[in-house]
């Protein structure tokens, strides 16, 4: 099959990045939290509590994870392109409806959290599953590239909201809607269009396809099971302890990154004002926005770098190093955040490591349970993301709401996340390839 005329496989990567740029919108949520938590008595449009703001975010993450499983099943039955199209339409619809009806917590929970999250989940697994099939020789790298747009997309949508061209939150007015709702509407239209364009090249390679010059590894049966040569169905995978090890590791590691994504703006403003580094709330907000943008950039880079590195040093070693480094930086982040440079540097490291999750875990799923069913199998592993998306931001929101303005409230959630990452690192060093009965 290596001599068969097929399309250039790198076009698939371009389409994947275009899709993921839009799906990364969920990571831009923190840019909206400041405005939607302004009390109504002070002129706010929504008047949400911090826990409500995090509730929309958590709902989006949880629904995203659940629909990743559903999307994995559907793309096996109907093919990847129709599922990517459906995801793009749902994502766009959720944000458009959020623009029209997004002043109440219930409306934003349903529109942005549930409908938008469902669209992200359906489309998310498609580029990964398609990419691994086109690149069996570079699974770590292509998994990183396929989802790199997710992290870079967050930077794009954050900066367009916050500062570029005056900031859409300050300048946008569609159908007379307030700034936040106008941005939701604009983004919904853009997301739907771009995902539909990227979906055009979301097609599987021909049966038996192999890249020119590449041959499947000829190794022992046990070793083959760690290179994607042995295929497990989802039912078989769910009966293996390796699945639960990956699930726990992903939960612990993702908890830290998702917590910081959801609260970095609120934490940055609190910490910089408390330390005197940025006494003015507006100046502190600008610095926190910069940290958030750099977090997103390094998130995208981390997906590519960790994926490429893991192809060289092995998935197990890469997972251990990533989780260990993330645990250490989370334990230090509270103190780092009290200076402008520390907040940005800490955000960069956390974002870089968090991005690695989305290259290493799909590649590890393919390594341990096979390339053939990676679309649906990774969906089951990705459930960990939904758990982390609920637990991480809600822990932070709880401590923020009950602290009555005390900046020390942020220390506990960051410590919880740090120890969860260290536990994931311990699990990583115990990983062994699954055996068939």
Cβ distance 54 to 263 under 8 Å? yes
* Nearest residue to 400 (alpha-carbon basis) of 13, 55, 3: 55
Most confident of 25-39, 241-255, 298-312: 241-255
Q: pLDDT-derived band of residue 281, with 50, 70 and 90 as boundaries? A: confident
pLDDT category, 33, cuts 50, 70, 90?
confident
Looking at residues 27-48, what average pLDDT do you find? 78
Q: What is the pTM of this model?
A: 0.74
Contact call for residues 361 and 427 (beta carbons, < 8 A): no
DSSP state of 205: P
pLDDT grade for 223, boundaries at 50, 70 and 90: very low
Q: Which of 22, 175, 32 is nearest to 89 (CA)?
A: 22
In terms of C-beta distances under 8 Å and separation of at least 24 residues, what long-range contacts does 39-46 make, across chains too? Answer: 45/103, 45/178, 45/180, 45/181, 46/102, 46/103, 46/104, 46/105, 46/108, 46/180
pLDDT band at 436 (very low <50, low <70, confident <90, very high): low
pLDDT score, position 228: 52
- The pLDDT of residue 164 is 78
State pLDDT tens for residues 137-188. Answer: 777 777 778 777 877 787 788 788 877 777 787 777 787 787 788 888 999 9
Residue 323 has pLDDT above 90, yes or no: yes
Q: Can you give the residue ranges of every domain in the chain?
A: 10-206+224-428
Question: Number of helices (H) and strands (E), helices first, in the chain?
Answer: 18, 0
CA nearest to 327, candidates 249, 220, 232, 387: 249
> Is the CB of residue 108 less than 8 Å from the CB of residue 127?
no
pLDDT score for 227? 55
Mean pLDDT of the 183-198 span = 93
pLDDT band at 217 (very low <50, low <70, confident <90, very high): low
Confidence of residue 338 (pLDDT cuts 50, 70, 90): very high
Look at 5-14, 37-46, 220-229, 369-378 and tell me which has the smallest mean pLDDT. Answer: 220-229
Q: What is the pLDDT of residue 226?
A: 55
pLDDT value, residue 348? 95
* Total residue count of the chain as it appears in this document: 437
Q: How many CB atoms lie within 10 A of CB 167?
A: 17
* CB distance 52 to 107 below 8 Å: no
Percent of the chain clearing pLDDT 90 (strictly above): 35
- Check pLDDT > 70 for residue 219: no
Instruction: Give me 418's structure tokens.
Output: 């740090």
pLDDT at 201 over 60: yes
Do the Cβ atoms of 169 and 162 come closer than 8 Å? yes
pLDDT of residue 95: 93
pLDDT exceeding 70 applies to what percent of the chain? 95
Residue 381, pLDDT > 50, answer yes
Determine the angle formed by the axes of helices 383-401 and 374-381, rounding to 10 degrees.
20
Residue scoring higher pLDDT (20 or 218): 20
Give the pLDDT of residue 39.
79
- One DSSP character per residue, 354-408 reads HHHHHHHHHHHHHHHH-STTHHHHHHHHTHHHHHHHHHHHHHHHHHHHTTTT-GG
Give the model's pLDDT for residue 350: 95
Asked whether 57 and 114 are in contact (CB, 8 A), the reply is no
CATH of range 10-206+224-428; options 3.30.499.10, 3.30.2320.80, 1.20.1250.20, 1.10.1200.10: 1.20.1250.20
* CB neighbours of residue 192 within 10 Å: 23
Instruction: Tell me the average pLDDT across 318-339.
Output: 95
Q: Who wins on pLDDT, 343 or 210?
A: 343
Per-residue pLDDT at 222: 41
Count of beta carbons in the 10 Å neighbourhood of residue 323: 29
Q: What pLDDT score was predicted for residue 76? A: 82
- C-beta of residue 250 within 8 angstroms of C-beta of residue 384: yes
Structural tokens at position 377 = 């199998």
Q: What is the pLDDT of residues 96-141, one digit of tens each?
A: 998 888 778 889 899 999 999 999 999 988 988 888 788 877 777 7
Provide the pLDDT confidence category of residue 225 given band limits of 50, 70 and 90. Answer: very low
pLDDT above 60 for 342: yes
């Amino acid at each position: 099959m290596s001599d068969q005329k097929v399309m250039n496989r790198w076009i698939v990567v371009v389409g994947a990045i275009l899709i993921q740029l839009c799906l990364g919108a969920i990571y831009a949520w923190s840019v909206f939290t400041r405005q939607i938590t302004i009390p109504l008595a002070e002129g706010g449009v929504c008047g949400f509590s911090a826990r409500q703001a995090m509730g929309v975010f958590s709902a989006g993450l949880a629904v995203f994870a659940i629909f990743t499983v559903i999307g994995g099943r559907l793309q096996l039955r109907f093919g990847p392109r129709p599922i990517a199209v459906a995801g793009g339409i749902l994502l766009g619809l959720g944000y458009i409806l959020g623009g029209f009806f997004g002043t109440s917590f219930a409306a934003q929970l349903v529109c942005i959290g549930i409908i938008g999250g469902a669209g992200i989940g359906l489309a998310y697994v498609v580029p990964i599953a398609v990419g691994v099939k086109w690149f069996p020789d570079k699974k770590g790298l292509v998994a990183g590239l396929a989802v790199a747009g997710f992290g870079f997309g967050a930077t794009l949508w954050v900066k367009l909201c916050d500062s570029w061209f005056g900031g859409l939150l300050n300048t946008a007015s569609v159908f007379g809607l307030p700034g936040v709702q106008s941005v939701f509407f604009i983004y919904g239209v853009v997301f739907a269009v771009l995902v539909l364009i990227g979906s055009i090249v979301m097609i599987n390679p021909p049966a038996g396809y192999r890249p020119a010059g590449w041959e499947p590894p000829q190794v022992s049966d046990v070793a083959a099971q760690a290179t994607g040569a042995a295929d497990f169905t989802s039912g078989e995978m769910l009966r293996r302890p390796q699945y639960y090890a990956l699930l726990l590791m992903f939960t612990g590691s993702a908890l830290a990154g998702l917590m910081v994504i959801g609260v970095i703006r609120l934490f940055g403003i609190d910490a910089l004002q408390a330390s005197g580094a940025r006494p003015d709330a507006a100046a502190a907000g600008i610095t926190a926005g910069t940290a958030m943008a750099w977090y997103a950039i390094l998130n995208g880079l981390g997906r590519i770098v960790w994926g490429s590195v893991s192809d060289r040093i092995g998935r197990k070693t890469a997972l251990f190093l990533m989780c260990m480094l993330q645990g250490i930086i989370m334990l230090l982040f509270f103190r780092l955040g009290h200076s402008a440079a520390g907040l940005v540097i800490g955000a960069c490291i956390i974002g870089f490591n968090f991005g690695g999750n989305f290259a290493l875990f799909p590649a590890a799923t393919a390594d341990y349970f096979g390339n053939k069913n990676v679309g649906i199998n990774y969906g089951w592993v990705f459930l960990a993301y939904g758990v982390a998306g609920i637990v991480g931001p809600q822990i932070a929101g709880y401590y923020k709401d009950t602290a009555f303005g005390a900046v020390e409230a942020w220390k506990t959630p960051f410590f919880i996340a740090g120890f969860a990452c260290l536990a994931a690192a311990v699990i990583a060093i115990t990983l062994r390839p699954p055996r068939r009965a």
